[in-house]
Amino acid sequence: MEVEIGEKKFRLMITADEIALRVNEIAQKINQQEWPEPPLLICILKGSFMFTADLVRRLQIPHSLEFLQLSSYANNLTSSGEVKGLDSFSVSVQNRPILILEDIVDTGLTIESLRNHLLHQGVVSVHVACLLFKPGSFKGSILPEFCGQSIPDNFVIGYGMDVAEQGRNLPDIYVLENAN
């Protein structure tokens, strides 16, 4: 199955059923984690909103939820390396365990920047959960503890992820054609 957005063609990579299985596995691991107190879950917008919605419905632990819009892609297919939006919290994070929720960990620079910012704010701990991880493009030092699936270093859309704000609505995940 393929989708076309503008002049770009994408082929099916991960079905909605496979995504649901991965989200269930991540939720089980988070539920089994020892938390000193209910964690603050930070959903990184915009791409993580579907992952977050599905994940929190499966969590059995007490938690609270914050949304944070960060950007390092703009409308490009690769990260600029510059993370914008770190100072947008509407709640105090001090003395709290944090669980960052990411749709995809690519270079790792976004979560590394956010983690460093949170540690300066006095959080107890910072953990990362992601649906997808690209080990081939990873440049960070913070690996996600809760990860659904590793994928090749190719551009993907669907399930909240987009190309120039298009494709977020797709229930499956698609990879850019001609990607290995």
Task: Answer for the pair 11, 1: CB distance below 8 angstroms, yes or no.
Answer: yes
Which residues make Cβ contacts (< 8 Å) with residue 53, sequence separation at least 6?
Answer: none
- Catalytic site residue 103? no
Task: Answer for the pair 100, 126: CB distance below 8 angstroms, yes or no.
Answer: yes
Q: How many residues does the chain have?
A: 180
- Which residues are 174's β-sheet partners? 12, 157
Spot the catalytic one: 54, 87, 103, 106: 106
Which residues make Cβ contacts (< 8 Å) with residue 8, sequence separation at least 6?
Answer: 163, 176, 177
Judge residue 169's burial from the number of C-beta atoms within 10 Å of its C-beta, 0-12 exposed, 13-18 middle, 19 or more buried.
Answer: exposed
Q: How far is CA 32 from the centre of its chain?
A: 20
Residue 60, number of CB atoms within 10 A of its CB: 10
Q: Any idea which residues carry the catalytic annotation? A: 106
